[in-house]
Amino acid sequence: MDVGDEGSVASAVKDVLTHCSELDALVCNAGIGIFGSVEETSIADAKAQLDTNFFGVLRTLRAVIPHMRTRARGRIVLVGSLAGREPIPFQAHYSASKAAVASVALALRSELHGSGVQVSLIEPGDINTPFNDATDFGSSRNSAYADRIRSCQRVIEEALPQAPGPEVVAAAIHKALSARRARVRYTVGPDSWLVPLGQRFLPDALMLRLVRGHFRI
């Protein structure tokens, strides 16, 4: 389906129900990423980011939830990001979209409490997938922030080859779909515990300082 097209989403869900009669699980994983400063990223690009990563999730949820709620059974897994908890410089719009997904996941879990439908949020850290190859850094060459952006790009390019592959995310999704009682959040990746721990014990100013140090800006 094209999550940006409500008709496409409705048609895909209808096809599944026609062939299978039931829909037991929904995993919202579609997403795109843009790279650039808040100041210089166009509103059109920002809207495109939110339209896929956030409104695409809403379109799909609206098409699937009525069926699951009527059956009093189902699992919903939304794939967010640790960037939704600790925003990445020059990926503010991506981070904002994932923070919005996290808010929807938690609110929806409460809304569907007792309905038989369980909702979980997956929060990956760095994951080495083709998604990263599609990130366009070139549009920032003439940016007023060019040096800082190049520093962030180098850090990302150095880290990703050592990052785990998508299998670790798939394993977390499987846990959320198969556990008797699915957890609210599943953080994924070798260092994924650092962000929740830092948020719990460190002030925001120090967390931001650590983020700037990590990206060498």
In a domain, residue 18? The reply is no
- Domain count across the chain: 1
In a domain, residue 1? The reply is no
User: Does 186 qualify as catalytic in the annotation?
Assistant: no
In a domain, residue 124? The reply is yes
Domain CATH for 162: 3.40.50.720
pLDDT of residue 30: 94
In a domain, residue 16? The reply is no
Range of the domain at 118: 23-214
pLDDT of residue 191: 83
**Residue of 94, 145, 186, 215 with catalytic role:** 94
In a domain, residue 8? The reply is no
CA distances 176 to 51, 95, 102, 109, Å, are 25, 23, 15, 13
- Quickly list DSSP for the chain: --TT-HHHHHHHHHHHHHHHS---EEEE-------B-TTTS-HHHHHHHHIIIIIHHHHHHHHHHHHHHHHT-EEEEEE--GGGTSPPTTBHHHHHHHHHHHHHHHHHHHHTTTTTEEEEEEEE-S--SHHHHT---GGGTT-TTHHHHHHHHHHHHHHGGGS--THHHHHHHHHHHHSSS--SEEEESTTTTHHHHHHHHS-HHHHHHHHHHHTT-
pLDDT of residue 130: 84
Q: What is the pLDDT along the chain (217 residues), one digit of tens a residue?
A: 999 999 999 999 999 999 999 999 999 999 999 999 999 999 999 999 999 999 999 999 999 999 999 999 999 999 999 999 999 999 999 999 999 999 999 999 999 999 999 999 999 999 998 887 777 666 677 899 999 999 998 998 898 899 999 999 999 999 999 999 999 999 999 888 899 999 999 999 999 999 999 999 9
In a domain, residue 49? The reply is yes
In a domain, residue 137? The reply is yes
In a domain, residue 15? The reply is no
pLDDT of residue 131: 81
